[in-house]
Structure formats: C-alpha cells, structure tokens
A and B are shown apart, each in its own frame.
Chain A
C-alpha cells in the first residue's frame, strides 16, 4: 500500500514538473521551408549574388531565450526573388572568384532580427522583424549603395499552439515579405536608378 502511495506521489511530482517545463519561455526555431517562384518579368540587368557562409547559416538571437535559424530559408527565398529581377544571374559564396563583367554584385546580410510575443505587449499576435542590408556594387568593386530592407511578419496567438510554431509562422511571413519588398522596391532605389541611367547614357553615346 505504501509503495503504491509512493509511486502515486512520484507520478504527481513528475506531472507537476512536466507542467512547469511546458511553461518555459525558451524557443528554438529552425525555418526550413521552400518558397514559391516569383511572378515577375526580369529586368535587363545582370547580377551576381553573394551568399557568404555567415548569411547562409545565419542564426538570429533576438533575445536570450529565443533563437531563430533562417540561413537556409533566406537563401532559398532570395534566390527565387532575385531570379525575378535580373535577366542573367549567378550565385556565389565569395566575392573572390568572380567574373569582372558581372553587371552588379549584391551581398545581402542580416543587420538584426527582432521578435515580439503577446507577453511583451497588449496585442494578441506574434511579430517578427528581419532587417536586411543589401550591399550593391559595380563589377569593378565601386559601391553603389547600401540598401536597408526591413521585412515584417505576424501571426495570431493561436490557442494551445506552441510559441515555437507561432514564431516559425511569423518568420515565414516575414521572409515572404522580404521577397515582396525586394520585387516592389529594388528598381526604385534612387542611387541604383541613377547608376542604371548613367550606364544607359554611356551605352548610347
């Protein structure tokens, strides 16, 4: 009888610990999803996109309890998005072994990733911001512009859904938003626009 009571008490303790563990606020999220091809007519430019190792394996730590691994997913997304912008495109892992006649060279990097959860504000949504920097250079290494590209995603706080799942969904939406922002605004970057106009004038004269 005593043995049964002891087993019951240990069982209660285990269930209690399990309950407390499920309340833990640590979240480790890995995004490994594929993205659709973009529906766009490519422009006349050709480009080389540099995905360095740091970018391709990027793991963001928006706070001490959360880590978001987006390296693989953001490379997939940007490959799709850039393919809709340029007539000819190459992807490389380093700027060292490049063809000199490569049009423009773009090196994306992540400046910051931020996550906001319902426990931090009055809204009932999970939010993710990814702040990208696109370093755009000419083939001979002259800097055209460092373009700041923010992306945003949010997802509702679904009842009984895990924090990881909610952050994952918000991050996927933020990555898709990055693709949309790129398609929408890339050729509107003033410095890039000016450089293209100069190139066209030079070609005509």
Chain B
C-alpha cells in the first residue's frame, strides 16, 4: 500500500518534469560536404557578436561553447586573449561584420602577422541571445515573527536563438553556418517553500551548438 502511494506521488511529478525539457532545433549550412580540416598546430577562436543595439551575445555562453569545442582535440584560443592580442581590431566598433571587411583587415601586415603567430586558422562568430517570451501566474511571499512562506504558481517561456558562422582566416572564405533554437517553459511552485522547476534552455542551446560545431572540424 505504501509502495503504491509512493509510486502515485512520483507519477504526479513526471508530467511536471517532462514539461521542463527544452525543445531544440539545429539548422546547418555548409557550401560543400567536405569536412573542415584543421592541423594539429592550428587553432580556432570563438567570438561573440556585440554590435547589436538591444542585446549582446553573453560571455558565459561563449565560454560554455568554447569548453565544449575544446574538449575535442581542437585547440581553442580563449576569446579575451584573442581580442586583447589584436586590439583594437575586434572591438564592437571595429570587428569585421562581413568577409569583405575581413579581407581588408587581413591585408594589414601587422594584423596578418599576429593572426599567423597565434596560429589561428578558423574564427567562429557566435551571435544570439536568450529571451523570455511570455510569463504567467502569480506568487506571493510573506514573512513574520511566526514564520513565512510562498504561495502560488508562476511560469515563463524562454527562447535561446544562436547562430555560429565559421570563417577561414587563411583562405578568407566562409566555411559554414549553424543555427540553434531552444525553447522551454520553467515553473515556480509556491508550497510554503518555493520549488523551482527550471528548463535549462541556454544550457541546451550551448550543448547542441558545441557538439554540432565539433563535428564540423576534422583534425589532420
């Protein structure tokens, strides 16, 4: 009887936990079916786009994707080290937004020499953000000398949209694009203590993008 009661309690929690899973879609574009070859001594740098007015690709996300890609045999240069080494040509004001500007920048012998010294072969631009789409419900909390607690229910939908663009710094061409959309709903249940049931939307987007990006590169 006791086991039946425990099982029914767990079954009640299952729909809520399933509701906390994110739905992730990945779109990939590559001009050819050929893998992107990278030599053992060559490196990749992942940079966040920060020139948009209302959002900027957060450093936490860049570092998460960097760690995912770095866990393979691919050498990744940390974003800030690259930006500092090549200052001021990859600041929000000066960073090349397209290949024509990159080609012009790489004509500068000091910039080209620095990129070659750092042995950076591929540059990956990451652009996107995580936004709260809608929220509902209400929660109220109170505290007094006799104790306190929260009562109510709140939910919110989050959407992470990120795009990765791979540039070849040697041949000065685009090698491919990846887009990841991850959406999910999080809940907060107030039953004396607030119980958060959070959907890791951004974390899912990071894992999917990082893992997919790893498959782009083949180490020679």
Contacts and interface: CB of A to CB of B under 8 A. Distances in A.
Interface of A: 8-9, 12, 35-41, 81, 123-125, 154-156, 158, 173, 176-177, 179-181, 183-184
B91 interface: yes
Interface stretch (B33-41, B51-59, B119-127, B163-171): B51-59
A184 B94 contact: yes
Contacts of B104: none
Interface in B72-95: 84-89, 91-94
B127 to A, nearest CB: 14
A125 B87 contact: no
Nearest to B114: A39
Contact of B93 (A8, A12, A180): A180
Interface residues of B, number: 19
Contacts of A155: 56
B71 interface: no
B106 interface: no
A8 B87 contact: no
Given A9-B145, A36-B85, A39-B86, A180 B91 contact: yes
A180 B88 contact: yes
B88 A38 contact: yes
B138 interface: no
Contacts of A179: 87-88, 91
Given A8-B145, A180-B93, A37 B58 contact: no
B54 to A, nearest CB: 6
Contacts of A81: 88
A177 B92 contact: yes
B59 to A, nearest CB: 9
A39 B89 contact: yes
B23 interface: no
B88 A176 contact: yes
A37 B114 CA distance: 13
21 contacts: A9-B145, A36-B87, A37-B87, A38-B87, A39-B85, A39-B86, A40-B110, A41-B110, A123-B54, A125-B55, A155-B56, A156-B58, A158-B58, A176-B87, A176-B88, A179-B87, A179-B91, A180-B88, A180-B93, A184-B93, A184-B94
B111 interface: yes
Nearest to B144: A12
A68 B110 CA distance: 35
Nearest to B56: A156
Question: What 4 A-B pairs are tightest by C-beta distance, nearest first?
Answer: A180-B88, A36-B84, A180-B91, A36-B87
B145 A12 contact: yes
Contact of A177 (B56, B91, B114): B91
A130 to B, nearest CB: 13
Contacts of B86: 39
A125 B110 contact: no
